[in-house]
Amino acid sequence: MPDTITQEMIEKKIYRQFIHPTNQRKDFIGIEIEIPIINLSKSAVDFDIVHNTTSQILKKFADFKKEGIDYSGNIFSIKNGKTGDIICYDCSYNNIEFAMGREKDLFTINDRFIMYYSFVKEELEKHNHTLTGMGINPYRKYNSDIPIPSERYLMLYHHLKSFKNYQNVPMYFHNYPEYGMFSSASQVQLDVYRDDLVKTINVFSKIEPIKAILFSNSVFLDENKHVTCFRDALWEYSTHGINPHNIGMYDIEFNSIDDLGAYLESLNIYCVMRNGSYINFPTMNLQEYFKREYVRGEIYSNGKYEYVNVKPEIDDINYLRPFKFINLTFRGTVEFRSVCTQPIYDSMTVAAFHLGLKNNLDKLAELIINDDVIYHKGYTARELRKLLIQEELPSFIDKNGLCRLTKDIIDLAAEGLTQRGMGEEIFLKPLYERVKNHTNPGKNIIESMHSGIELEKIIKDYGKIKN
């Protein structure tokens, strides 16, 4: 390892980047909702219509200002300077994202989200386009797989397309490096104090199978139609999954902050920035990266990629990009990333569920420890999630018992929200309906298709503000 970068320096930088920001007691909520754009003519999304819609948003909401301009001069991100809300396009102009500025309560966030969503949907529908709450764009096969021509998204797509360059890795790759252009998630960021950090990650990791039962909504139409959450596989079998520590679930239970720090050191890095430009290189373990004097990478310049050597610097840890189901961020938040975009009328269920359980963590941990419905059956949480995203549940699971366990967990979320005294527990009502009906949005799509219901009707229904 070069003299300039020591193991101690790596450990300290990891701590400052991911752990230190959790040293303040805060209680904010951040929500990001990605939503597919649909051309109802069954043709590719018309990007001119998308750009025109962006212009209309800026006219309608005066507090929004341009934030991101792509290489073609089109706006891909705008920000509200008063609220911190960001409306942007994620990976491509086929996918819009509403990243809501942090707030103390869900009602405030929901009101603004519905206001923005309603306006954007109305503008798009003037041109036979629309929005819908589905985790995989149901019209993906009609769309143009073109990334936003910006520094970040060109880098990301270049990395995902490089899967054919990896010959000796113990995994297989799917053939959809453009999956970021047609898959959508509902993400929640919650402030977590450092003393609760390890417990939060450990306990929430255990309920990923239950979240699959409640929230799955990514049906890969035309292929793998028996899977209710195909988004998991899209991440796992991409270049992001070459090091499984970078994606999905934690397979270990942490005993301390030091354990967590060591896990972060085990991640892979695949890009850095120099002089405002991204440099891609073959994904490699962070420790291996810092042993190199130089790493050979590629930089995008004047419409093409050129090879360049990059010398590792300790601040390159800023570009460490894990995509775990539960991520630590530099803001001092824990980001929950495993949930698909929900039908729009149920959008706040995701944040309500996580927020309520964060405030009831000890009871949740006790419930899981004593469970014998899905745990203590010889399966890990990761294995259980893979089983529970199937259309048919495995025979060893008692369906009624699973419903009771799931309802008990929702009850704990409701109790945690009730303790906040804001009435936010109302947002959990759709989850109780899902348990009662033994279903989730993904299963409903599959069953509707089996019943001959037109896909266009599902798109319309999942895009409604109210059910």
| pLDDT tens sequence across 172-213 | 999 999 999 999 999 999 999 999 999 999 999 999 999 999
Q: 């300290």: which residue's tokens?
A: 12
Tell me what the mean pLDDT of segment 421-446 comes to. 97
Residue 218: inside a domain, yes or no? yes
- The range of the structural domain enclosing residue 414 comes to 26-144+176-255+325-462
Contact 357, 416 (CB under 8 A): yes
In this prediction, residue 3 has a pLDDT band, given cuts at 50, 70 and 90, of low
List pLDDT tens digits, range 102-115.
999 999 999 999 99
- How confident is the model at residue 219, as a pLDDT? 97
Helix H, strand E, coil C: the string for 252-263 is: CCCCCHHHHHHH
Cβ–Cβ under 8 Å, residues 68 and 150: yes
Q: Residue 383 domain-assigned?
A: yes
Residue 458: which of 137, 120, 93, 89 has the closest Cα? 137
Query: Quick check: is 274 in a domain?
Result: no
pLDDT at 93 over 60: yes
Indicate the length of the chain as a whole number.
467
- Please state the rounded mean pLDDT for residues 70-91: 97
Q: What is the pLDDT of residues 362-396, one digit of tens each?
A: 999 999 999 999 999 999 999 999 999 998 889 99
Q: How far is CA 309 from CA 157, 159, 163, in A?
A: 20, 17, 21
Does residue 429 have a pLDDT over 80?
Answer: yes
Question: How many H helices and E strands in the chain?
Answer: 16, 15
For residue 92, the domain's CATH number is: 3.30.590.20
- Going from the C-alpha of 196 to that of each of 20, 71, 358, 413, 466, the distances in angstroms are 13, 43, 10, 17, 36
Residue at 109 is within a domain: yes
Average pLDDT, the chain: 95
pTM: 0.96
Please tell me whether residue 157 adopts helix, strand or coil conformation: helix
Q: How far is CA 18 from CA 159, 284, 328, in A?
A: 24, 20, 6
pLDDT at 1: 41
Angle at 194 between CA 199 and CA 257, to 5 degrees: 65
Q: What is the pLDDT of residue 398?
A: 94
Query: Residues 124-164: pLDDT tens digits?
Result: 999 999 999 999 999 999 999 999 999 999 999 999 999 99
Which tokens go with 351? 């944040």
Residue showing tokens 């569920």: 353
- Number of domains into which the chain is organized: 1
The DSSP result for 397-413, as a single string, is S-HHHHHHHHHHHHHHH
Q: Would residue 420 count as lying in a domain?
A: yes
Residue-level pLDDT at 170 = 87
Give the pLDDT confidence score for residue 113 in this predicted structure. 98
Q: What confidence tier does 18 reach under pLDDT thresholds 50, 70, 90?
A: very high
- E-strand stretches of 183-303: 186-191, 247-248, 268-274, 277-285, 295-301
State yes or no: pLDDT of 56 exceeds 80.
Answer: yes
Residue 24 pLDDT? 84
Task: Report the distance separating Cα 52 and Cα 216, nearest Å.
Answer: 32
What whole-number percentage of the chain has pLDDT above 70?
99
